[in-house]
Structure formats: C-alpha cells, structure tokens
Structure 1
Amino acid sequence: MAVVPLLLMGSPALAHHPFGMGDSGTLTAWQGLLSGIGHPLLGPDHLLFLLAIAFVGLKRPMSWVLPMLAVGLGGSLLSQVIALPELLTPWAEALVSLSLVAEGLIALSMAPAAWLLPLFSLHGFLLGSTIVGAEATPLATYFLGLLLGQGVLLLLVSAWSQALMPRLGAQGQRLGAGIWIGIGLAFAWVALID
C-alpha cells in the first residue's frame, strides 16, 4: 500500500515515455528500446492496468497473456496509422483509467472476460497515439521494448498472483477487485479535472 502514493506522483509526460517519444525526431534505436521497456513500469495507469490483467487472469493458463500482448501492441501500431480523433484527445487518459474499473468488474464477474481483448487494444491505441511523429527506427525499437517490458511484467505478475490468490480467498479477491475499481475511478477523476 505504501507504493500507491508514489505511483500517484508520476508525471504524465515522463511516466509514459522517458525519452519523449513523438516529441523529437533525434532519438536513437537504443533510446526507443529503453523507452518501450520503461513505459509499462513508469506510467502508473499502465502499470496498474497490467497488474489488474494478471489479477483478472487468475483462473486462466499463462498462455492467455500472449493474445493480450498481441492486441495491445496491435492497438499501438494502429495508432500510428489512424489518428486519435481530436474529440477524444482530452479524454484519453480518463478512458485508460476507466479500463481499470472495467477490469475490476471483470474480476467480480460483473462484466464478461471477453472485454479484455478490446480493452487492451484500446489501451494500446490511446497510449500509442502519444508517440505519433517519432522516426521509424526508434519507433520500431520502442515497440520491441514495449513488447518485452509488458511481456515480462505480465508473466511475472501472473505467476505471482496465481500463487498468491488461493491464500486470499474469495473475500480477498473481491476486495482486490474493489481496489482496482477505486483506483481506476480516482485516476479517471484526476484526468478529467486536470
């Protein structure tokens, strides 16, 4: 719980792309790779989204992580071809945060697990739209780093949560889902009033 205040202190600009992806055309391939690896670890909404996916996937085999990574990366790639509509731009961070609410509802079986694939794709699209304009080489290595960073994080957290959840029991799992919903609503509120 002591980590939550630290996560809330993250700066949105730095948190999502440590080297300013999309802001500069002078990035190297190495900077693109490091930015991709760092993205899921430094952005509090992104990190919590991935942690919640592991929480939702407790009753699924580890192989379910691969489709999540594929559609998330697909959404990010799509954002390089199809621009985020200007009408949605001010709401992008709030939509990303509301995905935590949806994950909590899925964990509570109040929403279908089939929502995860489109949620992950939307998440990738919204966050990928912030790097439009980067040169091809750092952009390609950014996506490689993103795949590696998200993949390792999802696999580790999924394995850890599958070992932890039986000890929490149904009550603890419901509490965890409620926490995700609360955090998602808090992040969405901050994004809306900011």
Structure 2
Amino acid sequence: MPADRIVAQDYEVASRLDQLGLSASELISVVFQAVAAKANFVLNHPLNAAGQLSYIYGTGALRDVLRPKGWQIDRAGNIEATFDPTTGIKIVFQNADSACEDGRDPKAISDKGPAASKAVDLGQGNLFPEYEEEDREQRRRENAALWYLFVYINGDDVRAELSFPKRIEDGQFKGFNERIYIIKPGEWASMMPKVADGDEGPAQDFEINVTRKI
C-alpha cells in the first residue's frame, strides 16, 4: 500500500525536515555512524552483532546530533527513542530490509513488539494536542507521533528514510502516513569521503560534512 505522502525531491525533503526541526545532513551523519559500526562486525562476534552494533551506534549518534538542540532521551515502554518537547515527536533508529522504494514499505529486520505497536497507535492523533496542565508532559510523551529512521545497509548499497507508520501488525509496519527519503538508491557512493591515491583509507574519526542540493 503506497504511503499517504512520499517526500523524495531534495528541496521538498529539506523543507519538510525543517518543519520537524531536522536536517538531512544531521540524519546522514547518523547513517555514517551506523554503517561504520556495522562494518566492525567480525566472525567471532555473535551472529546478530552486526545489526546490534548498527542499532546501538545509530541510536547514540541520533541523540548526539539532537540532544544539543533540546531533544531528550525517551525510554517509555522500553522503546529507545529521542523526543522533541517542542514538536511532540519521537524518533527511533531502525535497521530495515529496504528503504526509499515507492512500491515497497520498509520492513524491520527484527519484529516489533506490543510496546512499539501501542506507541505507534497512540501517536496517530494530532501532532500538537492540547492537554490539561497537570498531566501535559506525560501525555505528550505517551501520545507523541512515533517516527522511525529506517536504515538499509547492504555493502555499498546504503539508503535511509524518515517515516511515520500508521500501525504495526504481526510484528511489522503496516502502512505509512508519510515517508521522507534521506538517502536514495545510488546516492551513497557520492557521499563517501574521498581517499587520495596511496592512502589506506579515511581515518575512523573523520568529521562528516554533508551537503545536499536544495
């Protein structure tokens, strides 16, 4: 089922992310950290370590870029999210089996549990609801619109989208209100740091400075 809205053109992406208090360069820097973490997988690690490393460092990188802007760590329902008290939205880092394909919704690598299903359901209302003063903060967190940063990593094929699911059924996302394409097919190669001839490769602690066409 196609999403209600797909935002794919660079100028539209920049405008929409700005409305959410975000930028493409911030989210792309998160993807770089997730890709680097997954690349640290070695044979002696547990089989699921590559995905776990990507998730751990992706979640941490998301908070690294958002918390200085006033976003907050949120763990309601044991869901590791980052919450913006200004807009009332949450973002969760999610490894996915695809991204940025119009005819195919991203699927979580690992099935989602009942807590995620409940959180997605609660977040379907108005993004800026009004609550009584005494329970406003708690209600805003419980009913926050839950967005997912879906990251697909398959060798040199890396893609990412920030999307707002409608619901979760049988452990997987079913339908999306909106999908915002951050890294589309074929774009990843042009984002990689350039390596001069004779160099072994970029240092692990390089600073990422990503620019997008507006």
Q: Normalising by the residue count of structure 2, what TM-score does the alignment of the two structures yield?
A: 0.28
Instruction: Give the strand-richer structure, 1 or 2.
Output: 2
Higher radius of gyration, 1 or 2: 2
Normalised to the residue count of structure 1, the TM-score between the two structures is 0.30
Between structures 1 and 2, the one with greater helix share: 1
Work out which structure has the larger RCO, using CA pairs closer than 8 Å and 6 or more positions apart in sequence: 1
